[in-house]
Each structure stands twice: as C-alpha cells, then as structure tokens.
Amino acid sequence: DEVIKYLNNDDVTYKYFRWHSSGDIVDEQYLDGMVRVALACPQTTFLAFTKKWELINEWIDKHGIESLPVNLKIVLSMWDEEYNKTVKNKYLLPVTYVEFKKSSEFKANVPTGGYQCPGSCKTCKNCWKMMLGQMTFFHQH
C-alpha cells in the first residue's frame, strides 16, 4: 500500500518503475503484491527481472497469463551458470542473458538474435517494452 501511495501522488507521475535492481521475487505473496501495485498504478510500467522461473510458471498456472497486468513486465534472467540448463519458459516470457566478463561459454551456449543492451536504462527502456518471446543480452555491469 505504501508503494501505491508513493506512485499515485499528485506531484510526480512515474512512467517507469523497476522492482529491485538486485534481489528477486521472493514468493507468491510478493508477486501478488507486485500485481496489486501494477493494477493500482496503470500510468506506470513496472519491470522485474527474476531467476525464479518455477515460481513465475506456477503463478501463471494458477492465475492465468491474462492475470499479469500489461504494465508489469516480468523478464526471466539467465546467468552464465545456467546457460546449459533447460529451463521451462512455458509462457514465452521475455528473457535476458548476462555475459560475464570471464565467461567463455556465453557465445557458445546462448541463442542468437535478440536485442543487445547498450548499458543505459535512461536512454533505452527496451526491457520495459519487451513482448512475449523476446530476449535481450547484457554485458556484465
């Protein structure tokens, strides 16, 4: 409720809001809260990167993909230790791949295509606009 009050004020309109620049969606209750905030703040586009693929799949199984607000972008995150894993992206949510400075496996083990992040959210905003089935590649920063 505090986040909703903060975002729905009469002084400033927040167009973009990123949930946790480090950290993750901790559980279903937390995700429910994120959905509630997005529904209460339709003027704001929300973004959350997560490595909790199974939690997201289970939430969508339970509530349906249509229950994710259009202004809440959940982007599945893939780090170097996961490149060779088969992860179920049942709902074709957007995916990001992170290329670590010391990773020799990146180019050999990630899909080709996708958007190359320029490294500045202030000028790009691509992740807030990603659609189902799209991917972005980041260099470690």
For every residue of 77-139, DSSP letters joined together read EE-GGGTTS----TT---EEEEE-TT-SSHHHHS-S-SEEP-S-TTT--HHHH--TT-EEEEE
- Return d(Cα 44, Cα 68) in angstroms, integer: 14
Tokens of 4: 């909703």
Q: Show the tokens assigned to 39.
A: 């529904």
Per-residue pLDDT, 55: 95
- Rounded to the nearest angstrom, the gap between the alpha carbon of residue 66 and the centroid of all alpha carbons in its chain is 16
pTM for the full predicted model: 0.85
Domain boundaries, the chain: 2-139
> Are 107 and 74 spatial neighbours (Cβ–Cβ below 8 Å)?
no
**Backbone angles phi and psi of 32, in degrees to 5:** -55, -40
What is residue 16's predicted lDDT score, i.e. its pLDDT? 92
Q: Which of 9-18, 24-33, 83-92, 111-120 has the lowest mean pLDDT?
A: 83-92
Q: Which of 10-19, 30-39, 104-113, 114-123 has the lowest mean pLDDT?
A: 104-113
CA distance 42 to 89: 26
pLDDT for res 107: 60
Q: CB–CB of 114/136 below 8 Å?
A: yes
pLDDT at 104: 59
Rounded Cα distance between 36 and 69, Å, is 9
- Which pLDDT tens digit goes with each residue over 84-113? 566 678 899 999 888 776 655 556 566 777
What local confidence, expressed as pLDDT, does residue 45 receive? 95
Confidence at residue 106, expressed as pLDDT on a 0 to 100 scale: 56
pLDDT the model gives residue 49: 93
Mean pLDDT computed over every residue of the chain: 85
